[in-house]
A = this chain, B = another copy of it.
Amino acid sequence: MGERIVVINPNSSQDVTDGIDAALDGLRLDGGPEIDCLTLAEGPPGIESQRHVDGVVGPLCRLVEAQDNRASAFVIACFSDPGLQSARETTRKPVLGIAEAGIATALTLGERFGIVAILATSLGRQRRFVRAMGLESRFAGGRPVGLSVTALADEDLTLSRMIEVGRALKDEDGADAVIMGCAGMARYRDRLEDALAIPVVDPTQAAVGMAISAVRLGYRTAAQRAMH
């Protein structure tokens, strides 16, 4: 069997998974790993609270276990990185979280990154995450579009709000790179980048890019090496 990267959308919206899947086409290379996007059936329609985040960890880890012998690496495609450390305890394969990988990628694209969030209630969670990464000095700030995950279906409204928020991050907060703070925003990257004229990171793309390297190079943590 060839190499295969399993991307897990931990919410149950197949539409979001489809958007992710389409956005990854550029990273599907002949000779490179297969990239499969799965929807976590047990997840909520959108991950909108810490309780949602914590709630999907159990089924997500079970899905990792179920896929483990057919996977070369895993990507958790929700910007809260639910279960990232738990999944790393579950499999010997590399596990990438899209928040962690998206932020790491932004470090190479600009001096200070901003985050286009969906909900205002996510901002505290994201700031804690950035601080846990040790990167607050590179963080220009986060701003919410103020729409629910499901409402992202209204493309025109969503895009115009994302552009508005992205411009505020750039012009008022001093961001010179922007991360889209939700896997469900994948389809907007090109248009948002054109509007802002600074790099826009789709964190799922960033994580899958790093997963390809991880698969090809064989990184494994000490804990993963020590597994039976």
User: In this assembly, does A209 line the interface, its C-beta being within 8 Å of a C-beta of chain B?
Assistant: yes
Q: Which residues of chain A (111-125) have a CB below 8 Å from chain B?
A: 111-112, 121, 124-125
Contacts of A133 in B (CB 8 A): 107, 131, 138
Nearest B-chain residue to A177, judged by Cβ:
B221
Using an 8 Å CB-CB cutoff, how does the interface string of A16-54 with B read, 1 for contact, 0 for none? 000000000011111110000000000000000111011
Q: Which of B29, B86, B219 contacts A51 (CB 8 A)?
A: B86
Contacts of A131 in B (CB 8 A): 131-134, 137
Q: Is the Cβ of A27 less than 8 Å from the Cβ of B107?
A: no
Given contact pairs A27-B216, A134-B136, A212-B212, a sample of 17 additional A-B residue pairs in the complex whose CB atoms are under 8 Å apart = A27-B213, A31-B31, A32-B32, A54-B54, A100-B107, A104-B105, A108-B210, A109-B219, A111-B128, A131-B132, A131-B137, A134-B134, A135-B135, A199-B219, A205-B217, A209-B213, A210-B210
Q: A residues within 8 Å of B by Cβ?
A: 26-32, 49-51, 53-55, 57-58, 61, 83, 85-86, 88-90, 96-97, 100-101, 103-105, 107-112, 121, 124-125, 127-129, 131-138, 176-177, 197-199, 201-202, 205-206, 209-210, 212-213, 216-217, 219-223, 225-226
* 16 CB < 8 A contacts A-B: A28-B31, A31-B32, A49-B89, A54-B86, A55-B57, A104-B108, A105-B213, A111-B124, A111-B128, A131-B137, A133-B138, A199-B221, A201-B219, A202-B217, A205-B213, A209-B212
